[in-house]
Structure 1
Amino acid sequence: MSACIFEVRHTPIRDELWVKLPNQDATYIPALWLRTRSEAPEERDLGTRQRLINPHKLATDIEVTQALITGDALQLQFSDGLSNSLSLARLLRDLKLDDECPHTIAWRTADWQIPAFTKGQRPLPRYDWRTLIQDDYFLNALTDFIQYGFLLLHDTPTEPNSLLTIARRFGYLRETNFGLLFDVRSIPPSEQTDFSDDLAYRAIGLDPHTDNPYRTPVPGIQLLHCLENQTEGGYSTLVDSLAVCATLKAEDPTGYALLTTTPLRFEYRSSQAQLVNVCPVIEQDGRGQMIGVHFSPRLCDLPLLDEPSTRQLQAALARLSSLFSDPSYELHFKLMPGELIMFDNNRVLHGRTAFDPTQGNRHLQGCYIDRDTPRSHYRRLSQQLNRTL
């Protein structure tokens, strides 16, 4: 609270609440903003903290007729007759229009210690799965995941389907037409007839992409768990779309803007599913900030635009594709048995180098979980452990 100062100013017609934040001018807090935050038991259920009234129906001309700060409480009398006490700490939290989670940190290959240490680099967000049963270690992992968009886990069990237990620690499972859990195996081409619905089930290399851009909503988080790997290839790759798109925006602001506003059609068609999603390549949140991409060139087509816009969009997509394949943005590693990668499927693109299925067994299992649950865990544990960034 020392970095923020609340002040009541008295005028002949009303009392006003002002707040002074660091490095900012004092800001007036409208009476209606305060009125909608009523803690009165007839207007809010204090057990669930859900409102018992519709605040959108409050009069627009409500005023504060009396205000008094006592300790951490703000005592208020409103022109519609309500008297209420509000916590200044809670008001301070509400002043910030964010999701109460760590800010994302965009990264490139050079930001990580791989393998030698260089000043300014950071260690990879790598955790022993066995420690994540403890809430303090789990909170550290959640913090890294929210900031960087991925985690590496080691010393996980290697029994088939054990991934489901790991995934449930982080969130709720998302089932798709590929099942609750899917297998990526090194199967000889002559035996691949049952795995013909997606190129991921072949031994070919896969360029950086996001999974399932044809879904609404897109599966938010993917986990890939290595059970066996005897092949020489099949390296996993990760790319941070936040870093790549920041470069594109600096180079080509118009092209970047096109990718945030021009919808493309993503589609997946098989004997069992016909899935279509129409959306821009670059995904933004409600505040207009970029949070990820829908990117899988093998699954989308250009929309019909006028010729200049078509060429401009194509140029932006070409440059974006080139940046996604630039080694300076790419993490490149081989998953071994008992290792797992978990990544934000909207933010972090993944790929794979080709491998020879005749060299030996390669068996990964994968699944999806909802995107919001790790953030829910972070807020809950931060409060319980009294930890903030």
Structure 2
Amino acid sequence: MLRSATHTPSIVTVEFDTGPSARFHAIWLRDNALDPDTRAPGNGQRLITIGDIPADTMVSAASVANGDLTVTFQPENKTVTFPADWLAAHSYDQEDSRNFGRTAPGITTWEQGLDAPSADWSDVHAKPAAKRGWLAMVAEYGFAKLTSGPTEPESLLKVADLFGYVRQTNYGPYFEVRTEVNPTNLAFTGLGLQAHTDNPYRDPVPTLQILYCLENSAEGGDSIVVDGFRAAEKLRDQDPDGFALLAGFPARFEYKGSDGVCLRSRRPMIELSPDGELIGIRFNNRSSAPFVDIPFDLMEAYYAAYRQLGEIIDDPAMGVSFKLEPGESFIVDNTRVLHARLGYSGAGSRWLQGCYADKDGLLSTLAAMELATLEAAE
């Protein structure tokens, strides 16, 4: 609820009943008007362009009615009401105290000691609340397991069906992870793998990866996950200049392991949004190409920061480990969480299937389910 509203031609100031006040520019309010001539009632999409808004837009009246804000815009002589809770949710009048390299709200970084977030296969397929909880764990922690699933090949595709679609690559709709003779990728051997993000040589990278266990009687082969955002936070705190180097210059990645495929990308190891929010990690020693975009005078410092990040990632205290049993799977946010594997012996068998999907589908499904829950509660 709003207590009061005052205005100048270019700014509306409102006071909420909880105490704080907030200012909104006339042009911002007009662009975000909620009336049916500005936004489609069904889907909320904007029906006007910035060019449709008069350049001399101003506020001629602003008042509070039933706790909400009513504004009249000139020269259109257009009156629009803005709900108080909508204004509170979209307020941008705040001191900019955001830290360089910060994580977004709703993300919890972690290291060793975290109990791997987990949900039951049958529950997430049958119970909306369980599915919503599983999706929320992936959004918050960057990974989560599913247990007690079927052991039929291609079951991983049913995991992707819970929230979106498989992203097909040169590996096909999915790929096998088991020992091969003359493999095209080291993932298809029994060797241990350093913690890494997948496919950094793609632009954009696949944002989610699903690994599904069908057989696992081999000795070893435990899965390990490392929070790349926590690793980046540690580097930022220990060596701000090194952090800035890895965020400020692009690395290069390349893959050309099979006929007809030559994938290359030029992206930073630590990716920030323009306002300094941490949005991505790319780290994969197997796919690194020569770094040629760092100035000569900074190359040694860049490598020192690269080494330091690698040491943080390799620290056993950073990893959460688990051994997948047949019918178990896990999903990782491939823009954030690195995954590794301990080496395993030739005795027994180890067969996993993997596929990629897109995080926007997961976040969309989660947001829609959360909105439906809120609406049902009202």
Give the TM-score of the pair, scaled to structure 2.
Answer: 0.89
Is the Cα contact below 8 Å between 2:251 and 2:293 reproduced in 1? no
Alignment-derived partner of residue 89 in structure 2:
93
Aligned partners of 1:6, 1:352: CA distance in 2, in Å?
58
How far residue 15 of structure 1 moved from its aligned partner, in angstroms, is: 7.7
Taking a change above 3 Å as real, the CA distance of residues 275 and 15 of structure 1, as seen in their structure-2 partners, is closer
2:13 to 17, 24, 28: 17
1:125 to 117, 126, 135: 117
Equivalent residue runs for 1:1-389 within 5 Å: 5=2, 7-9=4-6, 16-19=12-15, 26-80=21-75, 81-95=77-91, 103-110=106-113, 112=114, 123-133=115-125, 134-187=127-180, 192-193=181-182, 196-269=183-256, 270-300=258-288, 301-357=290-346, 359-386=347-374
Structure 1 residue runs without a partner (length 5+): 113-122
150-159 or 281-290, which deviates more: 281-290
Q: Which amino acid aligns with 1:327?
A: P
Cα deviation, 1:268-314, whole Å, max 9, x if unaligned, reads 11313111110111022354211221111121122254443000000
Q: Which amino acid aligns with 1:238?
A: V
Is the Cα contact below 8 Å between 1:255 and 1:315 reproduced in 2? yes
**Partner SS state of residue 374, structure 2:** coil
Is the Cα contact below 8 Å between 1:130 and 1:155 reproduced in 2? yes
**Partner SS state of residue 343, structure 2:** coil
37-46 or 366-375, which deviates more: 37-46
Q: Which amino acid aligns with 2:158?
A: T
**Partner SS state of residue 170, structure 1:** coil
**Partner SS state of residue 85, structure 2:** helix
Alignment-derived partner of residue 97 in structure 2:
none
Q: Which amino acid aligns with 2:4?
A: E
How far residue 385 of structure 1 moved from its aligned partner, in angstroms, is: 1.0
**Partner SS state of residue 235, structure 2:** helix
**Partner SS state of residue 95, structure 1:** coil
How far residue 367 of structure 1 moved from its aligned partner, in angstroms, is: 0.5
Aligned residues: 362
Q: Which amino acid aligns with 2:174?
A: L
Aligned partners of 1:266, 1:71: CA distance in 2, in Å?
57
**Partner SS state of residue 27, structure 2:** helix
Q: Which amino acid aligns with 2:170?
A: N
Is the Cα contact below 8 Å between 1:14 and 1:65 reproduced in 2? no
Taking a change above 3 Å as real, the CA distance of residues 216 and 94 of structure 1, as seen in their structure-2 partners, is same
Aligned partners of 1:16, 1:336: CA distance in 2, in Å?
59
Cα deviation, 1:91-113, whole Å, max 9, x if unaligned, reads 2222269xxx9610010103x2x
Cα deviation, 1:107-134, whole Å, max 9, x if unaligned, reads 0103x2xxxxxxxxxx431111110021
Aligned partners of 1:344, 1:6: CA distance in 2, in Å?
43
Aligned partners of 1:286, 1:48: CA distance in 2, in Å?
29
Is the Cα contact below 8 Å between 1:39 and 1:85 reproduced in 2? yes
Q: Which amino acid aligns with 1:90?
A: W
Aligned partners of 2:111, 2:10: CA distance in 1, in Å?
54
**Partner SS state of residue 162, structure 2:** helix
Aligned partners of 1:35, 1:185: CA distance in 2, in Å?
58
Structure 2 residue runs without a partner (length 5+): 94-103
Is the Cα contact below 8 Å between 1:267 and 1:274 reproduced in 2? yes
Aligned partners of 1:371, 1:291: CA distance in 2, in Å?
13
Is the Cα contact below 8 Å between 2:10 and 2:25 reproduced in 1? no
Cα deviation, 1:37-57, whole Å, max 9, x if unaligned, reads 123333322122212210355
Aligned partners of 1:139, 1:226: CA distance in 2, in Å?
23
Aligned partners of 1:223, 1:19: CA distance in 2, in Å?
47
How far residue 27 of structure 1 moved from its aligned partner, in angstroms, is: 3.0
Aligned partners of 2:237, 2:10: CA distance in 1, in Å?
48
Q: Which amino acid aligns with 2:366?
A: Y
**Partner SS state of residue 7, structure 1:** strand
Cα deviation, 1:170-199, whole Å, max 9, x if unaligned, reads 322100101101111234xxxx13xx2211
Cα deviation, 1:247-278, whole Å, max 9, x if unaligned, reads 11111111100111101111111313111110
Aligned partners of 2:315, 2:159: CA distance in 1, in Å?
32
**Partner SS state of residue 386, structure 1:** helix
Q: Which amino acid aligns with 1:129?
A: W
Aligned partners of 1:96, 1:171: CA distance in 2, in Å?
32
Aligned partners of 1:237, 1:352: CA distance in 2, in Å?
6
